[in-house]
């Protein structure tokens, strides 16, 4: 082990989001020639109308030597107001610090792992055009193998069975110029070529994609709140509003091995488990109370644990998981700070669905 001390001082101005839902088409093509000035400053799902602020980020972490072989299991955690995504070892009951980092990113909300262990990192702020960065798996913190430009808005969540060879569902929290958010359908080689919207959209939160190629997104319906779940058969078309959806506010989505949707309500701070939602939902579990304020949560491969980031307390909370109960087990926080808006989480390997 070597002591790596990195001082990263970043002045970040986050503007007030003043947009509202505009004209909602079903499919859009890429807005070629879009200038960086047309974009608003990235926002967090936790402070989506944030005043300008100055953030100073300083890290002093114990990291492994470069020759150390990274494990194939672990947890990624993002903080909105830092320039790094942290990788932690699996089963971190001893509250050890990160085993690796991915640096040079900005304003990251959620992160995702595909079915092959590749990391999908929505990066809206480190370049003039937002990107979805793909890092090689299944080892933790693998090398960057490519970045997909996102011309449709602020990328905030991504999911795919295979991000290198298949389709990727990329959620845009907001669109270009403070318009409503959207769901972009992308491929590694072809880029983001289809953009899906619906009249229910204001801000787009969690995104789910089944291995069979259907998509769901959890959306905030207005500036003051409200939530809907939108279903896209084949990740295409106009989308259908799901019935039987119980959430009062939007949050993250994951899919368990039985195909159930596991969805967080950030306002109520609880989790519902649904079957179907294509577009009729049936509650098969919950609501289960979470320990703190969490927006995204992810299942492990065996589906016996559910991990969520508690933003208020700056903790990673690990729960046992079943349709009968989601029960708190332990937390860790080494390297995290509630002041830096810990947001996203991804478990490697992820749920097989």
- The CATH number of residue 127's host domain is 2.120.10.30
Residue 323 included in any domain:
yes
Please state, in angstroms and rounded to a whole number, the distance separating the CA atoms of residues 226 and 238: 20
CB contact at 8 A, 236 and 196: yes
Residue 282 resides in a domain: yes
Count of the separate structural domains present in the chain: 1
Q: Kindly state whether residue 196 falls inside one of the protein's structural domains.
A: yes
- pLDDT for the residue 58: 36
**pLDDT score of 54:** 35
Q: What is the mean pLDDT of each run of 10 residues along the chain (353 residues)?
A: 31 31 39 45 74 37 58 97 96 97 96 98 92 98 97 97 98 91 97 94 96 96 94 96 97 98 97 98 98 96 97 96 98 96 96 92
Residue 353 placed within a domain: no
Whether 77 maps to a domain, the answer reads: yes
What pLDDT is recorded for position 188?
97
Range of the domain at 333: 2-348
Q: What is the pTM of this model?
A: 0.86
Whether 186 maps to a domain, the answer reads: yes
| Model pLDDT, residue 39 | 57
188 occurs within a structural domain: yes
Q: Please, which residues have CB within 8 angstroms of residue 58's CB and are 6 or more apart in sequence?
A: 7, 8, 9
Determine, yes or no, domain membership for 12. yes
How many C-beta atoms surround the C-beta of residue 139 within 10 A? 18
């Amino acid at each position: 082990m070597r002591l790596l001390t990195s001082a990263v001082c970043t002045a970040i101005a986050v503007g007030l989001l003043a947009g509202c839902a505009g004209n909602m088409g079903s499919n859009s093509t890429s807005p070629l020639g879009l200038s960086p000035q047309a974009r608003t400053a990235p926002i967090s799902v936790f402070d989506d109308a944030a005043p300008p602020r100055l953030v100073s980020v300083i890290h002093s972490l114990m990291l492994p030597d470069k020759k150390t072989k990274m494990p194939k299991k672990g947890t990624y955690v993002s903080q909105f107001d830092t320039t790094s995504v942290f990788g932690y070892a699996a089963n971190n009951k001893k509250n050890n610090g990160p085993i690796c980092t991915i640096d040079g990113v900005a304003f990251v909300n959620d992160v995702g792992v595909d079915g092959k262990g590749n990391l999908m990192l929505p990066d809206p702020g480190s370049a003039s055009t937002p990107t979805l960065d793909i890092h090689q798996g299944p080892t933790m913190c693998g090398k960057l193998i490519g970045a997909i430009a996102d011309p449709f808005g602020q990328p905030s969540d991504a999911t795919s069975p295979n991000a290198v060879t298949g389709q990727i569902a990329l959620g845009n929290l907001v669109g270009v110029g403070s318009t409503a958010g959207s769901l972009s359908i992308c491929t590694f080689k072809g880029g983001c070529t289809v953009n899906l919207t619906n009249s229910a959209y204001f801000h787009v939160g969690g995104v789910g994609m089944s291995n069979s190629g259907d998509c769901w997104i959890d959306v905030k319906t207005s500036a003051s709140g409200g939530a809907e779940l939108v279903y896209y058969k084949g990740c295409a078309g106009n989308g259908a509003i799901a019935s039987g959806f119980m959430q009062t506010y939007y949050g993250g989505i994951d899919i368990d091995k039985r195909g159930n949707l596991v969805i967080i309500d950030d306002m109520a701070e609880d989790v519902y488990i649904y079957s179907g939602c294509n577009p009729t939902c049936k509650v098969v579990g919950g609501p289960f109370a979470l320990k703190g304020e969490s927006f995204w949560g992810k299942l492990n491969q065996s589906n016996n644990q559910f991990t969520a980031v508690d933003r208020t307390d700056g903790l990673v909370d690990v729960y046992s998981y079943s349709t009968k109960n989601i029960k708190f087990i332990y937390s860790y926080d080494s390297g995290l700070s509630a002041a830096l808006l810990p947001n996203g989480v991804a478990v490697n390997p992820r749920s097989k669905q």
